[in-house]
């Protein structure tokens, strides 16, 4: 007898009570497909020389597991214990409750997205946010696109297509792989004119390349690195003056722009959008989901005539933000109308300003439950940590923090494998736990641990299987 003949037919399996019940829940089509795949898998396993369990119970369990996996939403909450607060791979800023509510409301029903309720006519989708940004930054006008990379692309394409844009060699940034200033320039149709050197660029370097083909001057905030030592860069007011002498606009890509001076809450200083405008910038671009603490978006503020040109570029239509983004952004910016309460109302700022003593106390509370759940194979210690703001904001500054360090109880052979196994299991939790492994130690920075009870509740998972 051929072994594979022991594997039941799809039709027979589908008639078992367990699969009939699954079909009620997940739909017949999904169950049929999962059953086919399960049986194919068994046949393959057999051909490869193993003896899989082909009982009805085992098959039903496999089909159910597949159906559950397929119906689950793949984007899910995780515990970000990496120590990087605005972590690009983990979704950057957590949104304010007000922003989440606004987003849900916009998603649920029709809205006045592009409808002027006062006049009963078509309206502009960006205009409520533009009004807020004007008030909050002092700019003449504003525009919203999907992210700051799009904002820079739109700006360069509108002002600089078939023209030259001089940029300091010290500012030809790469933000996470795909966003490289020289590449964006090329795609925007501009010719990049590199000016100065990596560490030093002077005003005369810019002055020498100004010509009839120059479109604008651009300063890029070196948000994810710092040039230190023997350095020189041209202050913004001087670049603005040079651009204006030639009748050209001066633009600044701030990256992680902030609307308020963060040093009032003990955070490192970042230039604000208002200061940058006051320093002579005609256009400023920045992200919605970095220090601003809102949804992914690119914001452009500045001179009304230039914003109008950007708005008319057909590319703007391809980059326009959707209603959920606009709802969340509007609600986030509304919180800035009362800046004194921001550390309470804006989660990103709340996490960034958490007192180190609070985080250390949390580490003390979690040490024993974690050690208990991990068993004899691991030791847990409380440690001080240094959190990063993340997303290219203030790369050399860090925030005093605290956390837990987990290492294998016995060093030597197998210790690394055991630790890797542990991090795999933590990532497989219903709400995955993401830490950082270095030199055989798994470090959990607790600055962003908002749901302590949820974290402890999950530790029981370590004792199963």
Ligand X SMILES: *Cc1c(COP(=O)(O)O)cnc(C)c1O
Distance CA 331, CA 98 (A): 6
Residue with tokens 């830490």: 435
- With CA atoms as reference, report the closest residue to 297 among 261, 270, 257: 257
User: At closest approach, how far in Å is the CB of 291 from ligand X?
Assistant: 10
> Which lies closer to ligand X via its Cβ, residue 324 or residue 462?
324
Contacting ligand X within 375-394 (CB under 6 A): 392
Q: Helix axis angle, 148-160 relative to 304-312, nearest 10°?
A: 100
By CB atoms closer than 10 A (0-12, 13-18, 19+), residue 85 is: buried
By CB atoms closer than 10 A (0-12, 13-18, 19+), residue 361 is: middle
> Which lies closer to ligand X via its Cβ, residue 271 or residue 356?
271
Q: Is 149 in the site for ligand X (CB under 6 A)?
A: yes
> Which lies closer to ligand X via its Cβ, residue 255 or residue 435?
255
User: At closest approach, how far in Å is the CB of 134 from ligand X?
Assistant: 21
Contact 141, 308 (CB under 8 A): yes
Q: Is 315 in the site for ligand X (CB under 6 A)?
A: no
Q: Is 168 in the site for ligand X (CB under 6 A)?
A: no
Q: How many residues does the chain have?
A: 465
Distance CA 248, CA 100 (A): 41
User: At closest approach, how far in Å is the CB of 98 from ligand X?
Assistant: 21
Size of the site for ligand X (CB under 6 A): 16
Q: Is 256 in the site for ligand X (CB under 6 A)?
A: yes
Among the listed residues 38, 157, 158, 287, the single contact to ligand X using CB under 6 A: 287
Among the listed residues 223, 274, 401, 458, the single contact to ligand X using CB under 6 A: 223
DSSP helix/strand/coil, 39: helix
Only segment of 59-67, 112-120, 249-257, 449-457 that touches ligand X (CB under 6 A): 249-257
Distance CA 301, CA 254 (A): 11
> Which lies closer to ligand X via its Cβ, residue 180 or residue 303?
180
- How many C-beta neighbours within 10 Å does residue 162 have? 9
User: At closest approach, how far in Å is the CB of 154 from ligand X?
Assistant: 12
Q: Is 175 in the site for ligand X (CB under 6 A)?
A: yes
Binding site for ligand X (CB under 6 A): 147-149, 152, 173, 175, 179, 220-221, 223, 253, 255-256, 287, 298, 392
């Amino acid at each position: 007898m051929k072994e594979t003949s022991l594997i039941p037919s799809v039709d027979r399996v589908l008639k078992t009570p367990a699969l009939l019940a699954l079909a009620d829940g997940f739909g017949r089509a999904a169950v049929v497909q999962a059953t086919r795949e399960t049986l194919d898998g068994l046949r393959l396993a057999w051909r490869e020389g193993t003896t899989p369990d082909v009982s009805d119970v085992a098959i039903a369990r496999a089909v159910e597991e597949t159906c559950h996996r397929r119906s689950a939403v793949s984007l899910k909450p995780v515990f970000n214990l990496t120590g990087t607060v605005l972590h690009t791979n983990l979704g950057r800023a957590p949104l304010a409750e007000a922003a989440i509510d606004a987003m849900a409301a916009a998603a649920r029903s029709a809205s006045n997205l592009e409808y002027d309720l006062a006049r009963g006519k078509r309206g502009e989708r960006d205009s409520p946010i533009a009004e807020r940004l004007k008030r909050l930054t002092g700019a003449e006008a504003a525009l919203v696109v999907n992210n700051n990379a799009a904002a820079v692309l739109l700006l360069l394409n509108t002002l600089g297509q078939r023209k030259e844009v001089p940029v300091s060699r010290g500012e030809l940034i790469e933000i996470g792989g795909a966003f490289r200033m020289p590449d964006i320039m090329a795609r925007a149709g501009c010719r990049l004119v590199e000016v100065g050197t990596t560490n030093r660029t002077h005003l005369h370097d810019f002055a020498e390349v100004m010509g009839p083909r120059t479109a604008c001057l651009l300063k890029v905030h070196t948000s994810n690195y710092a040039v230190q030592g023997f350095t020189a860069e041209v202050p913004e007011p001087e670049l603005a003056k040079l651009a204006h002498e030639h009748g050209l606009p001066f633009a600044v890509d701030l990256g992680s722009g902030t609307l308020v001076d963060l040093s009032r809450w003990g955070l490192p200083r970042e230039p604000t959008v208002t200061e940058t405008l006051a320093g002579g910038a005609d256009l400023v671009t920045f992200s919605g989901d970095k220090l601003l603490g809102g949804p992914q978006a690119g914001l452009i503020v500045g001179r009304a005539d230039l914003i109008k040109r950007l708005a008319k570029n057909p590319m703007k239509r391809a980059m326009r933000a959707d209603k959920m983004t606009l709802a969340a952004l509007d609600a986030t910016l509304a919180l800035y109308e009362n800046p004194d309460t921001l550390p309470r109302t804006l989660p990103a700022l709340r996490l960034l300003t958490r007192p180190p003593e609070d985080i250390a106390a949390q580490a003390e509370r979690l040490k024993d439950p974690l050690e208990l759940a991990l068993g004899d194979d691991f030791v847990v210690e409380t440690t001080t940590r240094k959190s990063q703001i993340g997303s290219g904001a203030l790369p050399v500054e860090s925030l005093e923090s605290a956390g837990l360090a987990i290492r294998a109880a016995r060093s030597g052979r197998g210790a690394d494998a055991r630790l890797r196994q542990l991090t795999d299991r933590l990532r497989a939790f219903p709400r995955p736990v993401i830490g950082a492994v270095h030199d055989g130690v798994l470090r959990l920075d607790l600055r962003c641990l908002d749901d302590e009870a949820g974290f402890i509740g999950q530790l029981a998972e370590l004792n199963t299987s």
